[in-house]
Every structure is written in structure tokens, then in C-alpha cells.
Amino acid sequence: MKHIFYIILLFFPLFLFSQSKEKKKANEYFEKYDFDKAIELYQAIERLDVESRRNLAKSYLNRHRYAEAEKSYRQFISSSAATVEDYFNYALLLKTTNKQRQVKGFMEKIREKNPDDLRAKDFFENEENFRAWQANNKNFSIQSLKFNNANSDFGAVFYKDNKVVFTSTRKGNRPFLMREYTWNKKPFLSIFETDLDANKQFKKIRLWNKKENGKWHEGPISFSNNYTFAAFTRNNYSDTILDNTVRLEIFFTRLENEIWSEPEAFYLNNPAYSVGHPALSEDGKTLFFASDMSGGYGGSDIYYVEKNENGSWGKPINAGITINTEGNEEFPFYDSENGLLFFASNGLAGLGGLDIFVAAKSPCCLTFGKAENLGMPINSRYDDFSFIIDKNWQQGFFASNRPTGKGDDDIYRFTFNGKFKKYQPITPLKKEPIQPSQYRLFVLNEESKLPIENANVRLAALGELETDPAGLITISKELTSETTLKITVNAIGYKQSEKFIFIDNTKTDTVYLSVAANERIVLKNIYYDFDKSDILPESAEELDKVALFMKDNPDRKVELSSHTDSRGSDKYNLRLSEARAKSAVDYIISEGISPDKITAKGYGETQPRNRCTNGVPCSEIEHRENRRTEIFISDYGNAEHVQQTKGKF
């Protein structure tokens, strides 16, 4: 028996080593999007940890094996290791498998863990709309195109002379020997062109432009300027060394003498994140796109850039809280003439997978009202995306992987005989109706016309208010029919604005703030309790302002310097100041700010603000003044010093 026992002991480490090796190999396949091989290896491992079960579930999802994905999620979704993203992905899966009644419980879990999660907020605000979305929208009639087959087809856009350009994995007239994408074992995506027959069916399918169709993924594409300017997506296979992840990039090309020019890279292309799914305005002066760059709401967000007078692209602007969530917002299409933004989202409340939404532009600027779900038959329990409609609002195309189709992603044609809603100003996180006696004031960025959140508005004798995510304050008091008030508006990084406003009960005003380069910021340094590095509530308020400023100004960097009072040894105080610097950095990063935008250093007791050096008797208030983290933002200056009276001395 002893010999048997020894043999088991010797075998067990070898077994663990073998399991660990298999897990590592499976993870590698998963990261390379080779989900079939990842599934095969994960299945061979006797005991999977949570990370492996999560990867296995995601692999099943990506291969549309929903029943097996649900089984994998069930094995860990109730454990303490389950994350908010696990709850969300499982809720999406339950929608796809038509188990809507169970979805609410997991959205509740998301709300419990993060009360501010935009996906959960939108879900509970739209519970009563779910049945309406399930009822077929009579304004739409859809039909599957005859050309659909087992390939993936999507991203159809109208092209000159009654043509359509689309993205597909089909071979067409490409070389016989082709690379296959490990995700779906099909050829890489390319951009195709087709004619429309009398019944609006696709015929004579051919490559759009061999020069733009390389050896990896190309597409989708968008055109402007009467089809003489194009933006398209391409994979950046040359820059995968960062984390073995293939990113998306955008390239531009121009039609010159009937020949498309060599592709020109978008200046925002970056191996650290993706930019893709371009959608040009009709005049080519605005580009909408999807990106997972830092500073967004989470997942991939919809952004836009506008052209400067010299032809260069301006700064990227996030489309905002009415459009984006912690989930994925993708495939934008902008109807320039009517100011309508169509896009796909799995974060906004919907029927399952990606749903198609529409949001109307504000009359003043590129801010958008509440996104509306198009409902069935456009949307389904599966992925529905890449929506486009013609200038006359009569017909268009979208893609879907619903199981009634012929392949992976199929293109559907629709006819439309209704109307889309025009812009309605809203407060995104509040649903109270505007009362007749309420006065509303919007605070917007003068350059971008985007809302400025948390701007301080001082209204003479009526006190102070802060703007909400829509840049809005509302005065609900009973007002006389003729009230004139002086208001003062301040926001971090902007010049102060003063003006007199005339209120007649129902009036809406707007204040525009300009960026305050090289001017002092109304921002306070943060302070600490004795011998502590914890962020105090009053300090958290200031760090929230810093995070918000950095989200509004993604090209800016913040420098933090932390200090202690003179009590304690020099060596100990240096360590304490470094801990304080780290706690401030960690707090800002937790708000979604990229770590490379923040630098921090601890100086111990070497830089006191007052006379309280070693051996000098000082009051607790004087010592408190030295226990601080100072904030500096290039071009804006230092935060101001204030006397702190809260906390433990």
C-alpha cells in the first residue's frame, strides 16, 4: 500500500503540471480568437478555475453555441468571483435564449454592485417598453436578400449609380488560396461592390477595390462628397505586440482621376486601442466612429471628430451619456440632412444582443437626445447592426445573425413608411417632466457645444446649483413673470462667465464657457488625517472634479505631489507621502482615467507650506496644512491652498 501511495504522490504533481500547461495553451488560443481550439482544450481540463470557465463561456458565445455558454456561466455566476460584466453578459445570453424573466434578477445584481451603472439604469427605466419593442413596428417591412449564404455579410452602404458596397467573408473573385480567420474559420473580411436589380436584390458581386482589400480584414466602409471620399476599417496586424490583441484602425482614400488613392491613416489609430466602423457625414466634415479608447463610459463608445479649416481632423468628442454605456456601442450611421444618429448597442435596454437605436441631434449642436429602440422586426433577440437608410427615408439595409437567416451575418433590406422622432431636450438621468413654472439653464462648452457637468452656477439670492450630465440646472421655485438675475458660472478648466438673465417662467437659456488655458483653476488641494493616507470625503469631491476635467480634456496630464507634516522620521514620512500619492492616483484611475495621464511623487516632510519644520511647536491646524497632495495641470496651473477644517486632527 505504501508503494501505491508514493506512486500517487509522484503522479499528482505531474497531473497538476499537465493541467496547468493545458490551461495556458487554451488561454493562448482564446486570446488569439481561435475559439474552437480553446473550447477543445478547456473541455479536456478536469477542474476549471473561474477565469477558464469565463473564457470557455465567452468562446461558446462567440461561436453562437448559446446552450453550452449558458451552462458554463451557470457554473460560476452565483459565486463570489462573478463580476458585474459576468452578470451583464449572462443577462444578454438569457435574452438571446428567450429567458427574459431571469434577466431582471441579474440586472438587480449589477445595480447592487454599482448603482450608477448606465446599463442597469436604462434597463429599469425601460421595463414597460419591452412589450412594445416585441410588437412589430408597422413602419418597417423587412426581407432577407437572395444573395445571402453561409458567409458573413454586413455593412451595406449606398454607392453611386444604383450600387451598394458591403463587407463580407465571401470569396468573390479573390484568389483561390485565402487566409482563414481563426474566430469563425472563414476568409478574412473584404469590401465588395454590387449592382441593385429592379427588385433591389444584389447582383454582379465583385471586389470594390483590390488596392484597399489587403491580406487581413477590411471593412466596413463609408462614403461622402458624392462618393469621392471614403473611410474604412482595417486591422492593425503589424502592431499586435502590445498585448497580442488585434486592434481596428481607420484609413481614408480619395477618388482622383477615377482611381482611389493610397490609404491614409487616421491620426487616432493607436496600437493601445481600436478605432473603427467609420461613418462620414454627407459633406465629409464630420466622422463618427466606435472606439474603446480610455476616458469613455466603458466597452466601445461612439465618438465623432470634425474637420478643421485646414482639412485636419479635430479632437475626438464622446457622443455622450444618452448614447454610450458601459457596454458596446458600435456601427454608427449619421443622417446629415435630418440630424439622426443610428447605432447598435448591447448596453442600452433592448431585446437581446446588439439592438439598433436612433437618436436625434440638438438643433444647436452635435448633442443628442434620448436613444430610441427601433423594436421588431428590425431588432431581434440576436445581434442586429449596421443600419442605413436612403435620403428619402424609403428603404435601407441592416445586418443580423438571427437564426432564421442563411449564414453567420445576413443583410436584410427594409422599406420604411413612417417618421422618426425629432430632437427632444432631456435630462439623461432624470425622468421628471418639466413643469411650466420651471426655468432651465444649459451650460455648454463654447467650442464643442457639449454639456459641462458639475459646473457651479451662482444665481444671486437664489443660491448655488451644479449642472447635471446634460449641463442643465432647473429652478423649480415659483417665479414672478418678470425676474432678472445675475448669474456666475464656473467649471474646472473653463473661464468664469457672468451674465444677466431674464426669466419669464418657461424660458430656457444657455451659457457657453470657453476653455481657460493658462488661467488658475478653482480646485482645492487634498488633505489627510494624521498618519493616514485614506482619501477623505471632502478630498474625494476634489478628485472627482479632477477626473471629470481629464475626461473632458483627454490630452491633458495631471501631476500630483504628496507631503507630510514634520512629525515622525524622515524615512517614515517619505513612505507615508508615497502612500498618499498612490491613494490619490488609484482614486483617479478608478474613475476610468488612464494611468499614463497621471504622475505622482511623494516628498515626505521636505516641502512644508509653513514654519512647522522639525522641532518647531505648531498647532494641529498648522500641521494639517502640510499633510496634503498638491495638484498641478500643465497650462492651467496649481490648485489653490485652502484651510481644511474637517476630519480628525
- At 40 the pLDDT is 86
CATH 2.60.40.1120 intervals, the chain: 439-513
Rounded distance between C-alpha atoms, residue 489 and residue 313, angstroms:
30
| C-beta pairs of 337-342 under 8 Å, 24+ apart in sequence | 337/282, 337/391, 338/393, 338/420, 339/423, 340/420, 341/288, 341/302, 341/368, 342/387, 342/388, 342/389
Contact 390, 403 (CB under 8 A): no
Predicted pLDDT of residue 358: 94
d(CA 284, CA 223): 8
Per-residue model confidence (pLDDT) at position 422: 61
Cis peptide before 271 (omega within 30 of 0): no
For strand 526-527 and strand 497-503, is the pairing parallel, antiparallel, or unpaired? unpaired
Q: Which residue has the cell 414597460?
A: 128
SS3 sequence, 58-86?
HHHHHCCCHHHHHHHHHCCCCCCCCCHHH
- Residue 17's pLDDT is what? 45
Q: What's the whole-model pTM score?
A: 0.62
Q: Which residues pair with 193 in a beta bridge?
A: 165, 206
What gap in Å lies between CA 188 and CA 171, rounded to an integer?
A: 9
Predicted pLDDT of residue 219: 79
Q: Let me know if 334 is exposed, middle or buried by CB neighbors in 10 A (0-12, 13-18, 19+).
A: buried
Distance of alpha carbon 188 from alpha carbon 185, whole angstroms: 9
What is the CATH topology of the domain spanning 439-513? Immunoglobulin-like (2.60.40)
DSSP state of 461: G
Q: Which CATH class is domain 526-638?
A: alpha beta
What pLDDT does 375 receive? 92
| CATH code for the part of the protein at 140-416 | 2.120.10.30
At residue 166, the pLDDT reads 92
pLDDT averaged per 10 residues in sequence order, the chain, 649 residues: 42 49 80 81 83 88 86 87 89 87 89 89 89 87 89 90 88 41 54 87 83 66 93 69 62 91 88 88 95 86 92 90 92 92 94 93 82 93 93 91 86 88 48 47 78 81 76 66 71 78 64 67 56 65 75 75 81 81 81 81 82 82 75 62 45
